[in-house]
Amino acid sequence: MATLRHSGTTRSELNKKLFGYFAVGITVIGGFVVFGTALFMLLHFLVKGLPHISWEFLSQAPRNNNTEGGIFPAIYGTTFLVLTMALLGVPVGTATALYLTEYAKQNSFFAKSVRFAVNTLAGVPSIVFGLFGVGFFVQFVGGGLDGLIGKGGSSAVFGHPALIWASATLSVLTLPVVIVSVEEALRAVPRELREASLALGATKWQTIWKIVLPNSLTGILTGSILAVGRGAGEVAPIIFVGAVYSLPELPTSVTDQFMHLGYHLFVLATQSPDVEAAAPQQYATTVVLLLLTFGLNFTATIIRSRIRKKRLA
């Protein structure tokens, strides 16, 4: 009996070990598949695109139906768009997360409604945001502003597709990313710090401004990084609200139209008169778009790391 019992125990332990090895193996294989796929795609684009990147390509405007010349207006427009989007979206997302975390009662109807709206926005197709941008920002807000200043028709200042409306549309699209990231960062701040600040006589807002926000700044920057990465690659929403096929001139104000690297790539791949001839530019534009996105994210990551080191020092 003792031998049988020992044999059953040994077999049970062996099954647990095998199941553990199997679980670890599946996760490791999954990780290698994801990493390998991303690495293969990156290497493929680099091999195909790097030989066609030159100073002329990076510094000149497109010519001959975008099959010749460079992509500098698209680089400039994409950078301008992403920075404007971050300036519009991050403060609103941060303020919303602050309200939900610090002020709202978690079981209140309004707080639940806001969370439901955020979750719903996260699942809306990006093309719908483009149509929303046309109807709300361009026609309603822009048209209303033109009516106030007595402009309209061909002389409209705001009631037409422009960089400001594309930025506003993308800021709405990235709001769920910012809100969720900032909310998690705010919740990570120990409750004891808030209680200690309030016990010393600080007001609610002083506690948030002096204690909560500084301790969650790296999380806010994380939300900004995610928003930049999401917004830089979106094409569908901006087709309707500001991006153009080809534009040699650079936008000088937020009411101008602009070129975008993602839309430029889409045009090269689908609307070029000679797709084969435009293939080198497609790969080169893809590499530049990836490097620009990585560069913006890397810059934000460095800033976040330095802030974190200063706080720990």
Residue type for 219, please? Answer: G
> Of 8-22, 94-108, 120-134, 255-269, where does mean pLDDT reach its minimum?
8-22
Q: Reply yes or no on whether the pLDDT at 12 is more than 90.
A: no
Same domain, yes or no, for 32 and 114? no
Q: Which domain holds residue 20?
A: 2-50
Same domain, yes or no, for 240 and 203? yes
In a domain, 128, yes or no: yes
In a domain, 43, yes or no: yes
Same domain, yes or no, for 176 and 266? yes
Q: Identify the CATH number of the domain in which residue 103 sits.
A: 1.10.3720.10
**What is the pLDDT averaged over residues 171-192?**
89
Instruction: Express each pLDDT in 36-59 by its tens digit.
Output: 998 898 898 888 888 888 888 888
Same domain, yes or no, for 108 and 41? no
Q: Reply yes or no on whether the pLDDT at 100 is more than 80.
A: yes
pTM for the full predicted model = 0.83
Same domain, yes or no, for 79 and 34? no
Same domain, yes or no, for 270 and 169? yes
Same domain, yes or no, for 41 and 173? no
pLDDT at 129: 92
Same domain, yes or no, for 164 and 110? yes
Same domain, yes or no, for 46 and 91? no
Q: Is 46 exposed, middle or buried (0-12, 13-18, 19+ CB in 10 A)?
A: middle
Which letter, b or e, does each residue of 260-290 get, where b requires 16 or more Cβ atoms within 10 Å of its Cβ?
bbbbbbbbbeeebeeeeebebbbbbbbbbbb
Total domain count for the chain? 2
- Rounded Cα distance, 10 and 221, in Å: 51
Same domain, yes or no, for 239 and 289? yes
**What is the pLDDT averaged over residues 156-174?**
89
Same domain, yes or no, for 19 and 110? no
> Of 37-41, 42-46, 213-217, 274-278, where does mean pLDDT reach its minimum?
274-278
In a domain, 187, yes or no: yes
- Rounded Cα distance, 215 and 13, in Å: 45
Of 208-212, 226-230, 291-295, give the range with the top mean pLDDT. 208-212
Alpha-carbon Rg for the chain in angstroms = 25
Q: Reply yes or no on whether the pLDDT at 272 is more than 50.
A: yes
Q: Which of the four pLDDT bands, split at 50, 70 and 90, describes residue 295? A: confident
In a domain, 55, yes or no: no
In a domain, 28, yes or no: yes
Same domain, yes or no, for 170 and 213? yes
Q: Reply yes or no on whether the pLDDT at 65 is more than 80.
A: no
What is the SS3 string spanning 11-32? HHHHHHHHHHHHHHHHHHHHHH
**What is the pLDDT averaged over residues 158-182?**
90
Asked whether the beta carbons of 214 and 312 are under 8 A apart, the reply is no
Q: Which two tokens stand for residue 176?
A: 């769920």
> Of 56-65, 79-88, 254-263, where does mean pLDDT reach its minimum?
56-65
The 3-state DSSP class for residue 139 equals: helix
The 3-state DSSP class for residue 157 equals: coil
